[in-house]
Amino acid sequence: MLDLILENVQVIKLATKTNFRSVTSREVALIEGHQGWGEFSPFLEYGASECVPWLVSAVEAAVAPNEVPLRKSIPINGTLPAINGALEIIEILNFYPGAKVIKIKVGNNLEEDLKRLALVREIAPDLAIRLDANGLFSVDAAETFINKAGAIQYIEQPCATIEELRELRRRVSVRIAGDEIIRKAKDPFDVDLTDAVDILMLKVAPLGGIAIAKKIAAHHGLPVVVSSALESAVGISHGLKLAASIVELNFACGLATGKLLSEDVAALPVINGEIAVASVIPDTKNFSVSPERLKWWKDRIRQTWQAGARERLEESGWSW
């Protein structure tokens, strides 16, 4: 299967509109199979073992049959990076027409974070607010911030560890969502989320695909939010398919991060705060990388294959 993956991979580079988690462009490997396109796009700093589920997810998308969707479109939240200029905030909020929820990145600077919150409330007072700290707060800092933040829908991964989240949950009444504690876990089924989180974030690629993401959700039995990892439209389309297959979807999903890209390989427009569920055929001709970068990505796929993807894909039963 490795030879077929390498024969059917294209690598592209997409610029971002803003500095998002210190990322100003995204290199993405797209893999074509008989069921369509998959995306392998772990961030460049990830080691081979951490890349394994991303490759499994990409191959699943390319060759595994699609599930029948339960809904035709998915409500989305907007995403606001760590910026504080009013004009910049207005510009980014306009990326998400009709969205009723905004997720705001926080955790680096209490004063700046609170300023960002205040500006959003002044500019768009009707938006529901959720926060994402990527595990950057200590328990004490998270408690202080939450007590000053005002009404929020939930805060995503305020602290890094399960123990810290449990302690924080004892101190505050706001709902807590778990992201990194699941997607970066050695075994996401073996994580005890009891009294630690109220909501489970599901990201298709870091978890290893749609099928396993649904099994993880069923295992933990928590409300879910499907989110993305700054992927191209190919990766986002599979997040939309996951969201469309979940019976109880009570929260808007973080699947509009493609709007933070300057250009994309396919259009997934936000209409009335929702994105339609659809397979996409990427236009890759305008975004190709150099032969050197293509070789780098193929070498990365080989390393990921040897780091554990081979075993997982051979066990999957999928045929190319």
Catalytic residue among 103, 105, 214, 259: 105
241 is catalytic: no
Contacts of 115 (CB under 8 A, 6+ apart): 84
Catalytic residue among 13, 103, 148, 203: 203
Q: Which residues pair with 12 in a beta bridge?
A: 28, 288
Q: What is the DSSP string of 237-270?
A: HHHHHHHHH-S---S-BB--GGGGBSS-SS----
User: Alpha-carbon distance 19 to 82, whole Å?
Assistant: 8
Work out whether the CA dihedral 207, 99, 115, 150 comes out positive or negative: negative
13 is catalytic: no
Q: What is the DSSP string of 65-110?
A: PPPPPS-SEEEB-EEE-S---HHHHHHHHTTSTT--EEEEE-SS-H
> What phi and psi values does residue 291 have, to the nearest 5 degrees?
-55, -30
Q: What's the chain's Rg over C-alpha atoms?
A: 19
* The residue to which tokens 């933040």 are assigned: 149
Q: Is 162 helix (H, G, I), strand (E, B) or coil?
A: helix
Catalytic residues: 105, 203
